[in-house]
Amino acid sequence: MSIKEVADKIGTGVRVVRNAEQGKPTTSVVIYMALLWAYDLLQAVDDLANPLRDEVGLRLIEAKKPKRSQLEILHLFFRRRLYMFEQNRRILHPKLYEYRFRIWHKA
C-alpha cells in the first residue's frame, strides 16, 4: 500500500503520513491510531490500556492495601479493650476476679 493510498484511506494528506512514518514528535496520536487501523494492526492496541496487564499499577495497588483486614483490626481493638477492662476489674475487685478466674480456668 502506497503512502498516497494510506493517506486517502485515513482521510489525511501525504505529508502527515510521511511525518508519522518518520516519527516526528508533532504527529498526533490520532494519526498513529488511524495508521494502525489502515494497516490492520489495531488489535494490539486493546492491551495498551488494559489495567489487568499493568504490572506497575497492580504493584502500586497491592502496596496501598492495608496489611490487616478491617475485621482483624476490630478484633484486635476489642481484645485490647477487654484486656484493659479485665486489668481494671482485677485492681478494683481482686476477690471477684480470683473467683471468676478459678471458674473459667479450671485445670
Note the pLDDT tens digit of each residue in 29-40: 999 999 988 988
Give the domain extent around 88. 70-104
Residue 82 lies in a domain: yes
Q: What is the pTM of this model?
A: 0.47
Verify that 46 and 13 share a domain, yes or no. yes
Domain tally, the chain = 2
Alpha-carbon distances, residue 44 vs 21, 27, 37, 65, 87 (angstroms): 18, 20, 10, 31, 65
Residue 55 counted as domain residue = no
Residue 10 is assigned to a structural domain of this protein = yes
Domain match, 14 and 46 both: yes
pLDDT band at residue 42 using 50, 70 and 90 as cut-offs: confident
* 21 is a domain residue: yes
pLDDT tens digits for 59-93? 888 888 777 777 787 788 888 877 777 776 655 55
